[in-house]
Structure 1
Amino acid sequence: MGLIGDWLAAGGAARTSGSLRVGSMASGAPVALPWVGVRGARPGPTLWLHGQVHGDEINGMVAALRFARALDPQAMSGHLVVTPTGNPQALDARRKRNPYDELDLDQSYPGNAQGLVTERVAHALMQEVRGVATVLINLHTMNPLFDAPPYTVYKHHPDSGIAEEALLAAMACFHPRLACRQDVGGKGELPGNIAGALDYQCLAAGTLAFMLELGSGSRLQPANVALAETGFATLARQMGILPGPAGERTAHLRTVSRRGWITADDGGLFVPRCQAGDRVAAGESIGDLLGLDGSLTPVPPFQRDGVLIGLRSDPVVHTGERLAFVAWEWADRPLAST
C-alpha cells in the first residue's frame, strides 16, 4: 500500500494534505501530485476524486476541493481522497498536455516508473489507487472551444468483475445528459491508446471508475461545479460513507453506444443554429459557415438523428476542424431503485 493507503489505514477521524513526489525540474522545483485526505471515524469504502488529467479542466478541481472542505470526518464511515490535479505541469502551462513530453496523460495509465514524465505521473497515481479506492471519478471537461452539458463516459473491462449496472448506478447520482459507453479500441471516436485511460486501468485493478465531464475547459462554470458537489454527496451516501438516505438520482440514463465528430469542409466563421445538448433530426443542419467574402454555406445536414454532446462555441474554423461531437446511437435505460 502507498502513502495515502497507509494514512487511511491508521484509523480515526482526521483530515490531511500532502504530495506524491514524481521528480524534479532542472531548477530543483519538485514535480509532485498534491492530495487531500478526509478519514472517517469509522471504517468503510473510499471515494477517490481525481481532477485534471488534462491541464485545462478546471470545474472538477474546484468541485472536489470544495466537497472535501465541507465534510465532517466524525460523521463519516469511510474516506474521501482528492487528487485535484493529475497533470500539474500541464496545469501550470494552462494546456491540455504536459508541455515537456506532449503525451496525453489519459492514454498513459498505468504508467511507467522509468518513462517520460507523463508516464511517471501516471505510475505514481496508480501505485496509490490500487487496493485503496473503492470508487474513482475521473473528472474532465470538454475542449475549451466547445459548450457541453455535463455527461459521463464509461468503459467495460472484461476482467474487472464490476457490473455495468453498478457503474450506471454511480453515474446516475450526477444526472448526466448522456452516459456514453466508450469503445476501448477507439473505433469511430478517438485515436490513440484508449485502454490507457485512468478509469479503464482502475477497472482493471478492481476499482469502479468512470469519467464525469463537467462542461467546458479553461473556465469556471458555477452551475457545473454545484452539480458535481451535489452528486459527490449523493454518491457518498449511496456508498454509506455519509449518513442518511442516498438522495435523489435520475431514474433512467440515456446510454450512448456510438459517437462521432462533425468537421468543417471549408474554413470560415461557424454560426450554429442549435445548442449543445439538442437533439438534431435527420435532414437538419447544425449551422452555417460564414465566409470572409460574405458567402454563407450550410453545414451538410445530418443523415440520421443525433444528439449534440458538445458544440463548438469558437467560431473561427479551418478545414477539418471539429464543429460538434454527436451521439448517433442511444437507448433510454431505466435504473433499479436503491
Structure 2
Amino acid sequence: MKIDTQIWTDIDFDKDGKQLGTLNAPQSFNWAGWANVFIPIAVVKNGTGPTALLCGGNHGDEYEGQVTLLKLVRELDPAQVQGRLIILPMLNRPAAQAGMRLSPVDGRNMNRAFPGQRNDTLTGLIAHYVAHALLPLADLVIDIHSGGRTLQFLPSVNMHNLANKTQFDEMVRAAKSWGAPYVFIYEDVAGEGLLPSYAESLGKITLGTEMGSASQFSAGILRLVEDGLHNVLRLYGILPGEPTPPPTGQQVVAAPERDDYLMAPVSGIFEPLLEMGDPVSAGQPVGQIYSTELPFQPPTPVIARTDGILFGRCGFPLTQQGACVATIVRPVEIG
C-alpha cells in the first residue's frame, strides 16, 4: 500500500528475519539546511501471525519503554516469533536524546500530535507516518509510558473506556495478562491527539502503561515492564509459551471524572501528605504547596474533590499552577 508521506525507510515490512533501521524524517536546522532525523525502528518477522506495534520514548523523559524495547530488539531471535513485531524504542527521538517530554525541535508533544499531517512539523510528520503506515499493519498496539520527570504512578496498564464492548473487553483481558497490580481506565484531561486514542479508534487492541517514575526506575519496575510485555505477546501467540497468572489482588480502577485529576492551585513546592495507594476522601488534603515568592505564608492545600485511592502524584516537588499534582481512582467492576 502506497502511503503519501515525507518519511522514508529501507525496512521491508514483509521480509522474514530481523531488520534494524531508521525512519528518516526531513528537517532543516541552523547547523544543516538539508538534514534527516533518524527514528530507530526494528522489525522482527517470522511466518504468519498477528502484528504488534511496540512503542517507547513517546515522551523523551520516560525511560522504561526505551530500555525494555532496546533490550527486546537485541535479545529476540526471529525463530521465537510467530507473526511480526514492529518496534519503535524512541518514537520521539529528539525528545529522548534531550531527556525531555516535548520535542526540542518543534516544542510539541508526540502524544498530542496524532494522526498528524503530511506537511507538518517534525513531531506531526512522525505521528502521520505511524498513523498511516504502521498502525494499519498492526493488530495489537502497545505504547509504554511512565510518569516521566513530573509525575509518578502506581504501576498500571491503561486504556480508555470504549463504546465498542467487544474491543474494550479484549483490551481488558490483554491488560490483565500483563500482570501489573492495576488496570487503569482514564480520561484525556490534558488534550486530544493521543497515539492510543487514535489506535483505539481504528479498532486496534491498544494498551498503554504508567510505570513509575519521576524519571527514575528500579530493577523491579523494569522487570514488570519486560515480563508484562512478554506476557501480552504470549497471550496472542507472537512469542511462545503462556502468560504467567496475574497477581492476587489485581484491581481494575478508573478516574472518569475531571475532579479525579487535581491541578496545582498555585505555583511552589508540593509537599505530599499521603502515600500513593492510600485511601482518600472528598474534602481531604492530599498535599500542600509552599510559595517560593512568599515562603513564610501558610502553604496552600490541595484538596481532594472525590473519594478513592491516591493513584498518582507530582514526581518533582517544584510545581507550577495548573500542573496535575494528584490523581484519584476508584475500583470498578468490568463485565
Give the TM interval when normalised to the shorter protein.
0.7 to 0.9
Matched with 1:17 is 20
Matched with 1:248 is 245
Give the drift of 1:293.
Answer: 4.6
Matched with 1:275 is 275
Judge which range, 46-55 or 25-34, deviates more. 25-34
Give the drift of 1:139.
Answer: 1.5
Given candidates 168, 172, 177, the residue that maps to 2:176 is: 172
CA 1:72–1:290 in structure 2 vs 1: closer, same or farther (change >3 Å)?
Answer: same
TM-score by length of 2: 0.84
**Counterpart Cα distance in 1 of 2:299 and 2:197:** 41
Give the drift of 1:253.
Answer: 3.6
Give the drift of 1:229.
Answer: 0.7
**Counterpart Cα distance in 2 of 1:210 and 1:32:** 26
Contact map agreement 1:139 1:211 (CA 8 A) in 2: yes
Judge which range, 51-60 or 62-71, deviates more. 62-71
CA 1:317–1:163 in structure 2 vs 1: closer, same or farther (change >3 Å)?
Answer: closer
RMSD: 2.9
Identity %: 24
**Counterpart Cα distance in 2 of 1:217 and 1:23:** 32
Give the drift of 1:167.
Answer: 0.4
CA 1:307–1:122 in structure 2 vs 1: closer, same or farther (change >3 Å)?
Answer: same
Give the drift of 1:166.
Answer: 0.5
CA 1:299–1:238 in structure 2 vs 1: closer, same or farther (change >3 Å)?
Answer: same
Q: What is the CA deviation profile of residues 211-235 of structure 1, one whole-angstrom value per residue up to 9, with x for unaligned ones? A: 1122125334332221111011111
Matched with 2:42 is 36
Q: Tell me the SS of whatever aligns to 1:7.
A: coil
* Residue-pair matches, total: 322
CA 1:182–1:149 in structure 2 vs 1: closer, same or farther (change >3 Å)?
Answer: closer
Give, as a single letter, the amino acid of the residue that structure 2 aligns with 1:213.
E
Q: Tell me the SS of whatever aligns to 1:258.
A: coil
Q: Does 1:229 align with 2:254?
A: no
Matched with 1:299 is 301
Give the drift of 1:238.
Answer: 0.7
**Counterpart Cα distance in 2 of 1:276 and 1:109:** 31
**Counterpart Cα distance in 1 of 2:74 and 2:126:** 25
**Counterpart Cα distance in 2 of 1:270 and 1:156:** 31
Give the drift of 1:162.
Answer: 5.2
Q: Tell me the SS of whatever aligns to 2:269.
A: strand
Give the drift of 1:273.
Answer: 2.3
Matched with 1:142 is 147
Give the drift of 1:35.
Answer: 0.5
Give the drift of 1:121.
Answer: 1.1
- Any runs of at least 4 consecutive aligned residues in structure 1 with deviations exceeding 6 A, and if so which? 2-6
Q: Tell me the SS of whatever aligns to 1:151.
A: strand
Matched with 1:310 is 312
Give the drift of 1:63.
Answer: 0.9
CA 1:101–1:268 in structure 2 vs 1: closer, same or farther (change >3 Å)?
Answer: closer
Matched with 1:206 is 203
Matched with 1:285 is 285
Q: What is the CA deviation profile of residues 231-288 of structure 1, one whole-angstrom value per residue up to 9, with x for unaligned ones? A: 1111111101122223223575413142533234445433222222332234532234
Give, as a single letter, the amino acid of the residue that structure 2 aligns with 1:151.
S
Contact map agreement 2:48 2:82 (CA 8 A) in 1: yes
Contact map agreement 2:288 2:300 (CA 8 A) in 1: yes
Q: What is the CA deviation profile of residues 39-94 of structure 1, one whole-angstrom value per residue up to 9, with x for unaligned ones? A: 22x32112221111122111111112212323222132122221011112222332
Q: Tell me the SS of whatever aligns to 1:32.
A: strand
**Counterpart Cα distance in 2 of 1:74 and 1:316:** 49
* 1:87-236 alignment runs, 5 A limit: 87-156=92-161, 163-183=167-187, 186=188, 189-190=189-190, 192=191, 194=192, 196-236=193-233
Q: Tell me the SS of whatever aligns to 2:244.
A: coil
CA 1:24–1:277 in structure 2 vs 1: closer, same or farther (change >3 Å)?
Answer: same
**Counterpart Cα distance in 1 of 2:94 and 2:37:** 8
Q: What is the CA deviation profile of residues 131-168 of structure 1, one whole-angstrom value per residue up to 9, with x for unaligned ones? A: 3211111111214133222223312565x785211101
CA 1:321–1:156 in structure 2 vs 1: closer, same or farther (change >3 Å)?
Answer: closer
